[in-house]
């Protein structure tokens, strides 16, 4: 169904290191290259959150989305080491895993069907996206 959606843009700065405890030092280097540097490195992450109007055109409210994202995502990750986050204790802090985690955190607060897409820009040339599957047609 055609519908209106709204995308809000957020930013946070965080450090991370691409590293897996189940790989050897050589395997980590082969998989992640310089992103496996033991000292870590930082990114200015951009998070794009798309919500739709849930069928009610007057309900798209930037302040409502801002409050949820700021409390759930920005406060949690800004100026932090992503590798220290409890959710990353058993998975690598790749952009793929980060965008899925952000989706899951927001999906716990935003009604199914209203949260439409989450995007994470990690570097100039790296963009990750996670989206709800289209609703099945009846
Ligand atoms: Ni990185």
Query: Separation of 87 CA from ligand 1 center, angstroms?
Result: 17
Q: Are 49 and 118 in contact, with CB atoms under 8 Å apart?
A: yes
Cβ burial of 2 (10 Å; 0-12, 13-18, 19+) is exposed
Residue 86 CA to ligand 1 center (angstroms) comes to 18
Q: Is pLDDT above 70 for 136?
A: no
Residues above pLDDT 90, as percent of the chain: 82
Predicted confidence at residue 137, as pLDDT, reads 57
Q: Enumerate the H helices of 18-61 as residue ranges.
A: 25-32
Give residues with Cβ within 8 angstroms of 8, minimum separation 6: 48, 49, 62, 65, 66, 69
What integer pLDDT is reported at residue 69 of this predicted model?
A: 98
Residue 23 CA to ligand 1 center (angstroms) comes to: 18
- Predicted confidence band of residue 117 (pLDDT cuts 50, 70, 90): very high
pLDDT, one tens digit per residue, over 61-106 is: 899 999 999 999 999 999 999 999 999 999 999 999 999 999 999 9
Ligand 1 midpoint to CA 126 (Å): 10
Q: Is residue 3 pLDDT above 90, yes or no?
A: no
Reduced to 3 states, what is the DSSP secondary structure of residue 7? strand
CATH topology of domain 5-16+43-136: Tetrahydropterin Synthase; Chain A (3.30.479)
Instruction: Supply the residues annotated as catalytic.
Output: 35, 79, 122
- Please give the distance, rounded to the nearest whole angstrom, from the Cα atom of residue 94 to the centre of ligand 1: 7
């Amino acid at each position: 169904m055609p519908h209106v959606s709204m995308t809000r843009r957020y930013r946070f700065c965080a450090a991370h290191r691409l590293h897996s405890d189940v790989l050897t030092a050589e395997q980590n280097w082969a998989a992640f290259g310089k992103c496996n540097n033991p000292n870590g490195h930082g990114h200015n992450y951009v998070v794009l959150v798309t919500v739709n109007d849930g069928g009610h055109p007057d309900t798209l409210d930037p302040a409502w989305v801002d409050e949820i994202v700021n409390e759930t995502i920005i406060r949690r990750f800004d100026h932090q080491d992503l590798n220290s986050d409890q959710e990353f204790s058993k998975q690598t802090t790749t952009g793929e895993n980060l965008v899925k985690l952000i989706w899951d955190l927001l999906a716990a607060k935003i009604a199914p069907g209203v949260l439409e897409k989450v995007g994470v820009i990690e570097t100039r040339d790296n963009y990750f996206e996670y989206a709800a599957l289209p609703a099945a047609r009846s």
